[in-house]
Structure 1
Amino acid sequence: MQYFTQDFVEFFKELEFNNHKEWFHANKKRYEASVKRPFEIFVSKMIQEIQKYDPTLQIDAKDCVLRINRDIRFSEDKSPYNLHYTAFISKGGRKDKSVPGLFLRLSPIMVGVMGGCFGITKEQLFNLRTKISDNPKDFRKLIEEKHFVERFGEIKGRAIKRIPKEWKEAYKIEPLIGNKQFYFVGEEPSSLIISESLIDKLMEYWKIMRPVNEYLTKAIQ
């Protein structure tokens, strides 16, 4: 099934050169018809597909979809709108990015597919580092799995500059102990957006990331 028309892509291409409230309000009906409503339908379908494998995922699309409005409070760029549409499909939804899930970003440039932990609390980070240090080989085996590496490459995230004394030995064995975030990123061409295989392709990514996401989920608890 095709969830988006070419106008989804064209809307954001035009928005890039008209990123102001006047243009957006003049194109509000177009935004609703070509971007917002089809995206919510698409996310609902993604949730349904994931629930076939993980029935514990109980969340609505409206709780996963992020607003198109940018947070410009601390940014030099005061453009009011994002040039992409995003959703965080997890048990925590968009309000809790510490919960590993499937983060999707659709834009005219690419389709971004991300997983892992973005906003981990100090307690969650301690628990995760403890689990990794207890058995670093298990963690390394997951993130070096062939298909995971092909789709996502490596674990990313900000790292601390000075390793605390209690983690120094573990850090020598597994340098990712120094991370403050544990996420990974895959990418597909933007042509996938209007493809009938969009859901199937994204579910391939979800299945590959699932073991790592489950490991992280258990570890942070």
Structure 2
Amino acid sequence: MSYFTDDFSEFFKELTVNNNTEWFHANKERYEKSVKEPFEAFVEKIIEEICILDTDYQITSKECIFRLHRDVRFSKDKSSYKLFSSAAISTNGRKNKSLPGMYIRFSPENITIMGRCYQPSSLQLHKIRAAISADTKGFRFLIDNEDFKEKFGSVRGEINKRIPKEFQSALKNEPLIANKQFYYGTTLPPETITNHNLDSLIMEYWKTMQPLNNFFNKAIL
């Protein structure tokens, strides 16, 4: 089934040039019908599919979906609303960016699908580096397999210029030990949003990223 109509993208296109509370309130019913409700239903479906494979995902769509309103307190851009719908699907939803999971963002420009261990604490990062150092070949196997490389390319993230001495030897064999965050993703064309098999497509990406997510989970938990 198709969760979204063409008005999902059209709404955000119009919001781009009418990014104010007056226009949004005048179009709130349309937002509820074309954007909010179908996105919530879609995320709920993805969670249900994930739970079949991983029962640790006891979370609701509302705990995963980010609010549309922008926090403009410290931003020069005072636009009221984001121009996309997004969610962080992990065992703790959007509130804990350190836990590995899947991030999705739907916009008129594209669909973003990303696996990530995005903001690990200092202790969690140390544990991740220890796990990589202890099994460099196993870690490299997860990111060098054909399916992962075809869907996501490589693992990216900010890099520490200095790392603890205990990991400097392993760094020679695995440069990603220097990373202080880890993410891997891709984008799909915007017309994919109305694809009747969108949930199955997203799940294929989740299945590909999950072994690496599990590696990070095992390291930090």
TM-score of the aligned structures, taking structure 2 as reference length:
0.97
Equivalent residues in 2 for 1:73-152, closer than 5 Å: 73-152=73-152
Tell me if structure 2 keeps the 8 A contact 1:116–1:212: no
Question: Aligned partner of 2:153: which letter?
Answer: G
Q: 1:28-43 to 2 correspondence within 5 Å?
A: 28-43=28-43
Quick one: distance in 2 between partners of 1:190 and 1:184?
A: 19
Q: What is the CA distance between 1:179 and its match in structure 2? A: 0.6
Give the corresponding residue for 1:51. Answer: 51
CA contact (8 A) 2:70 2:80 kept: yes
Report the CA distance between 1:183 and its aligned residue. 1.0
- CA RMSD in angstroms comes to 1.1
Q: 2: CA distance between counterparts of 1:197 and 1:189?
A: 14
| 1:120/1:181 contact within 8 Å kept | yes
CA contact (8 A) 1:116 1:216 kept: no
Equivalent residues of 1:12, 1:107 under 8 A apart = yes
Residues 127 and 220 in structure 1, CA contact (< 8 A), matched pair in contact too: yes
CA–CA distance in 1 between the matches of 2:120 and 2:164? 18
Give 1:187 deviation, angstroms.
1.4
Structure-1-length-normalised TM-score: 0.97
Q: CA deviation at 1:73?
A: 2.5
SS in 1 for 2:36: helix
Residues in 1 aligned to 2:156 and 2:144: alpha-carbon distance in whole angstroms: 13
**Cα shift at 1:166:** 3.0
- Residue 161, structure 1, aligned to residue 161, structure 2: yes
Unmatched runs of 5 consecutive residues or more in structure 2: none
1:105 Cα offset (Å): 0.4
Q: Please report how far the alpha carbon of residue 206 of structure 1 lies from its aligned counterpart in structure 2 after TM superposition.
A: 0.7
Following TM superposition, where does structure 1 have runs of at least 4 consecutive aligned residues deviating by more than 3 angstroms?
A: none
Sequence identity (%): 52
Give unmatched runs, 5+ long, in structure 1.
Answer: none
Amino acid at match of 1:62: K
Using the TM superposition, give the Cα deviation of residue 163 of structure 1 relative to its aligned residue in structure 2, in angstroms.
3.0
- 3-state SS of 1:160 partner: coil
